[in-house]
Amino acid sequence: MDLRKIKKLIELAEESGIAELEVTSGEESVRIAMRGARALPMASAPAVPAEVVVPPPAAPAPPAATEASGGTELVAPLAGTFYVAATPGAAPFVQVGDTVDVGQTLCIIESMKMMNAIAAERAGTITAVLGANGEPVAAGQALFLLR
């Protein structure tokens, strides 16, 4: 893992006040445990440049059908800050009434200073945007209704 990325992870651990952090990317892994006011890398794989990637959930849960709308809730796969567009002032990825395809980007969730594009798990039409731009969301929280 790139030394700059490890230093950034240490800074993030110090800022957030977490006691321990472990990141795995492919066959590389780094674990950081906080002791007092310092973070010490506990174990590391060979230093080979690689991107830090948030792995997809092992087996995504099927979207929940909503009885009132007859549609499907698309939920946040992780906790973070919800954004409807790539940059402030840009057009939103999707709006109510838009037809979306599987894999199409719906929003971004910023988590641990990483931007995670959230894609549609199924095709359909957006009937409601339930997340508020710039507001925190919890993992499993409904973000969109899709019919």
Percent of the chain topping pLDDT 90: 34
pTM for the model: 0.54
Q: Is 93 exposed, middle or buried (0-12, 13-18, 19+ CB in 10 A)?
A: buried
Would you state the pLDDT for residue 23? Answer: 79
Mean pLDDT check: name the lowest of 10-14, 54-58, 80-84, 98-102.
Answer: 54-58
CB atoms within 10 A of CB 34: 17
At 69-85, the pLDDT tens digits run 457 889 999 999 999 99
DSSP E strands in 8-141: the ranges are 20-25, 28-35, 38-44, 64-65, 72-75, 80-83, 99-100, 105-111, 114-119, 124-129, 136-137
